[in-house]
Chains A and B, each alone.
Chain A
Amino acid sequence: DTAVSQTPKYLVTQMGNDKSIKCEQNLGHDTMYWYKQDSKKFLKIMFSYNNKELIINETVPNRFSPKSPDKAHLNLHINSLELGDSAVYFCASSHYRAKDYEQYFGPGTRLTVT
């Protein structure tokens, strides 16, 4: 009965590689998000999608490309990985416009770039 799931949980790769992280939610939500938690544990929004359409892009380098094939999935593809991309990436979902609804988070993907 997992609500928001992410794969993989851990990802270790070398600089310059391209990698993807997948996210799926079974809550019936129409909005999904990617957040990044840096080494100082600070969480910051990267992207959000509503009904497969991008609604937020928080000045993230264009090496990061989210893709939403349907409402229940939001994947994150990262090109030409850099050391500074090492972080924990969290996927989340909610109903549109988080005004009255909670955001539910996945377990996170710990990305380590060597």
Chain B
Amino acid sequence: KQEVTQIPAALSVPEGENLVLNCSFTDSAIYNLQWFRQDPGKGLTSLLLIQSSQREQTSGRLNASLDKSSGRSTLYIAASQPGDSATYLCAVGNTDKLIFGTGTRLQVFP
């Protein structure tokens, strides 16, 4: 049974820092991995999708990497801003569904 864990559960950093969010999964037989952002009381915004054959994806200040063999993905956020404050969720694509991690709640203070 696939289990997805995210560390840390919460993170508070000053503006301008580069930071790394971690996601680990127990079954390496995945189709893809997707990173989402969720603002309080809002829906999910897709940030990046990494296919199982890819090693990383980049979008603006975000870079996500995938190491299937070790069951890990990282989301790197460069030059963090207060507007980056949100909960970040990773989700592993397995056959016909996404299996979500527990989330990292990020706060970036000015």
Which A residues form the contact surface with B (CB < 8 A)? 31, 33, 35, 41-45, 48, 50, 55-56, 58, 90, 92, 97-108
B100 touches A107 (CB 8 A): no
Q: CB within 8 A of A42: which of B42, B96, B102?
A: B102
CA–CA, A109 to B90, complex, Å? Answer: 21
Residue B49 is within 8 A (CB to CB) of chain A in the complex:
yes
CA–CA, A102 to B45, complex, Å? Answer: 11
Known: A97-B95, A99-B51, A99-B93. A90 touches B43 (CB 8 A): yes
Judged by DSSP, the binding face of B is strand
A99 touches B89 (CB 8 A): no
B43 touches A98 (CB 8 A): no
Known: A99-B52, A99-B93, A103-B34. A45 touches B98 (CB 8 A): yes
Q: CB within 8 A of A45: which of B43, B87, B97?
A: B97
Size bracket, chain B contacts: 20 to 34
Which residue of A is nearest B34, CB measured? A102
Q: CB within 8 A of B44: which of A48, A58, A99, A105?
A: A105
Q: CB within 8 A of A56: which of B32, B34, B42, B97?
A: B97
